[in-house]
Structure 1
């Protein structure tokens, strides 16, 4: 591929990256409009979206004026665990809930070790990102198992926390490999390949933000039944 074509492709990836970041405004606007109807867990996810917006803005500012923002994204990796962890602490009813606080403390300690010792202040904390993504995948799967055990008679695609959980599962399961590949390409000075990984991450961002926005939009609405209840009239109807 020629240099001009590569440059155009990289510019396209940059534009997609900014679009993926800016899409966080969609769930924030919808969540703010329906803030009074958000369940406690969904409200915490809304606060997490606000945190993402503030940190992304600060990260872009630091990149432009200080040419360094690695520590900011490292802080996001720590804050995400607390916001999303507390959200699932509100909805999960497994005995695992009692271990959420010590697990959060251990995760934070490991993240700080990764920042200052394992990867340093100039590189992304890949080990922490993999651990965080794994924990989030486990939390969402535990929530899905809980739903199956409860056998609720509602259409799950109209349940706000289910939709949000699908968003988180898709994003964190999809980005863990992309982030590891990005670190490898950066080390190899493979600029185009690293930008392709950024583009994949941006698409996943768009999907996650869109699904979270839908979850907020569904808050407080009457859930649709998956199976209509059997009434006396239908029971007496001949086959």
Structure 2
């Protein structure tokens, strides 16, 4: 979002703070990369080499008072691809892999069509975020279903993918509501809309703190 004043309200401060846990997750992933299992290596590489640079670019545009919403389709598709790879290496399910390939390809096609149909790339278009949230929550659902069925993990707090999945569940359940109602809230009250996006920043921070925990903890069964 753009800022139109020289002072920094709480919402803008929180938006800037969101990069700190992303940077922390990137550094932890870099330090521990050789000790991580394959699924978490995908997460570490995705955070360090895609999500962090995209976040830095978005923050730079924000500081320069430039609209950064045109980055959202790229970020959304990239994040979905990273998480699909993470859960592919976690679940080891042929059905899940084939399903996610089709769904990810379908989502990418929808994103391209949505962009081509857009009159302005600098406006928030929630359709992509809603679909991404549903797909990622479905991945998390597959993981928790397998976790409950197999009952092989004795200490959830020592299971990295539990932290990843818990963080994603918290974040995307909240983000789904924000994406669904953000345009209505903007018309209803600009201040309320800003407060809602401040809540989004807090959810984002929680997600990346969960990533940090997942990348730091040693997996134990």
Alignment TM class, shorter chain as reference: 0.7 to 0.9
Structure 1 residue 161, shift from structure 2 partner: 1.2
In the TM superposition, what is the alpha-carbon distance from 1:158 to its structure 2 partner?
A: 0.7
- Identify which of 28, 31, 34 aligns with 1:30: 28
Deviations 1:173-217 (A, max 9, x none): 11111233333233x273311210111101101111111100011
Aligned partners of 2:27 and 2:105: how far apart in 1? 32
* 1:216 aligned residue: 215
Instruction: After superposing the two structures, state which structure 1 stretch, 89-98 or 154-163, moved more.
Output: 89-98
Q: Secondary structure at the match of 1:23?
A: helix
Residue number in structure 2 paired with 1:53 = 52
Cα deviation, residue 171, structure 1: 0.7
Give the conservation status (yes or no) of the 8 Å contact 1:181–1:197.
Answer: no
Asked if 1:142 corresponds to 2:142, the answer is yes
Q: Distance in 2 between matches of 1:20 and 1:193?
A: 20
By how many angstroms is 1:98 displaced? 1.8
Distance 1:189 1:60, change over 3 A: farther
Q: Offset of 1:222 from its aligned partner? A: 5.9
The 8 Å contact of residues 178 and 200 in structure 1, kept in 2 or not, is answered as: no
Does the 8 Å CA contact 1:70/1:122 hold for their aligned counterparts?
Answer: yes
Q: CA deviation at 1:126?
A: 0.7
**TM-score normalised by L of structure 2:** 0.88
Partner residue in 2 for 1:19: 17
Structural mapping, 1:98-177, within 5 Å: 98-117=98-117, 120-177=120-177
What's the counterpart of residue 83 of structure 2? 84
Counterpart of 2:40 (choices 30, 36, 42) is 42
Runs of at least 4 residues off by over 4 Å: none
Match of 1:70 in 2: 69
Q: CA separation of 1:22/1:184 partners in 2, compared to 1, >3 Å: closer, same or farther?
A: farther
Larger Rg: 1
Deviation at 1:164, TM superposition (A): 0.8
Cα distance, 1:18–1:213 mapped onto 2, change above 3 Å: same
- How many residue pairs get aligned? The number is 214
Tell me the SS of whatever aligns to 2:180.
helix
Are the structure 2 counterparts of residues 33 and 184 from structure 1 closer, same or farther at C-alpha, using a change threshold of 3 Å? same
1:106-154, Cα deviation, whole Å (9 max, x unpaired): 1101011222215741322311111110111110111011111211142
TM-score, normalization: structure 1?
0.82
